[in-house]
Amino acid sequence: MRWWRWAIRVVLAGGTAVVVIAAVTFLQVWWVGREDHHPTSDALVVLGASQYDGRPSAVFAARLDHALALFRQGVAPDVITVGGKQPGDRYTEGEAGASYLRRRGVPADHVIVIPEGSDTLGSLTAVAGVMNSRHWRSTVLVTDPWHSLRSRTMARDLGLRASTSPVTTGPAVRGVDTKVHYIIRESIGYRWYQLFHRASPPEATSRAV
């Protein structure tokens, strides 16, 4: 058989493998995003999103509302809000989230602010440090459905016993186009993390709004 036929076969096999991996990853992100596991844990962790001068964005507010509901159900005695700030911001995402929860009745001494992290991995690394210092191991991560697989994988790699309870309201779950967009983005981010153990490709580090 001539060399070019072998080359065509190799290219076709490689293309097929890429398509299969992409499809499997898409299904993994979708499947984990449908699961809601919130066992009794040491703490709830609300992953940060955009905030505007102390006011959480719609995406962030949906996460905080979901965490508030879990707190009231007694899933965990404490809530951790995490996230840094952009240049020029007066408030961090962690501070904005904590203020939001306190105004809605969560006692101040049951809200822990970690004002660090500009991406998921940085935020969860900071969370793991705080939880380890308190000898906490179990957590329920509160984030968008399509972000659940990647954030849970990172948290477990950091030594936490992490479950995910994704939001069911808010901009991230409205409309098929939005869902497909987020699932594709998270599929890329998940495989990127697996390959390089970095949060996401450089062009995909912006916060959700």
Strand partners, 138: 161
Residues 57-99: tens digit of each pLDDT:
999 999 999 999 999 999 999 999 999 998 889 999 999 999 9
For residue 59, tell me if it sits in a domain.
Answer: yes
For residue 24, tell me if it sits in a domain.
Answer: no
In angstroms, rounded to a whole number, what is the distance separating the alpha carbons of residues 168 and 174? 9
In angstroms, rounded to a whole number, what is the distance separating the alpha carbons of residues 58 and 171? 7
Helix (H, G, I), strand (E, B) or coil at 162: strand
For residue 97, tell me if it sits in a domain.
Answer: yes
Q: Residue 1 above 60 pLDDT? A: no
For residue 57, tell me if it sits in a domain.
Answer: yes
Give the strand pairing for 43-46 and 138-142. Answer: parallel
Integer Rg of the chain from CA: 19
For residue 128, tell me if it sits in a domain.
Answer: yes
In angstroms, rounded to a whole number, what is the distance separating the alpha carbons of residues 97 and 57? 10
State the burial class of residue 150 (Cβ atoms within 10 Å of its Cβ: 0-12, 13-18, 19+).
Answer: buried
**What's the whole-number average pLDDT of the chain?**
91
pLDDT for res 202:
58
In this structure, of 58-72, 112-126, 191-205, the range with the lowest mean pLDDT score is 191-205
Mean pLDDT of 6-31: 83
Nearest residue to 166 (alpha-carbon basis) of 191, 138, 140, 194: 140
For residue 16, tell me if it sits in a domain.
Answer: no
In angstroms, rounded to a whole number, what is the distance separating the alpha carbons of residues 168 and 144? 8
Total count of domains within the chain: 1
Domain with 85 in it: what CATH number? Answer: 3.40.50.620
Range of the domain at 149: 31-197
* Distance (Å) of CA 127 to CA 35, 43, 81: 23, 10, 9
For residue 2, tell me if it sits in a domain.
Answer: no
pLDDT for res 206:
46
> Quick one: pLDDT band at residue 205, thresholds 50, 70, 90?
very low
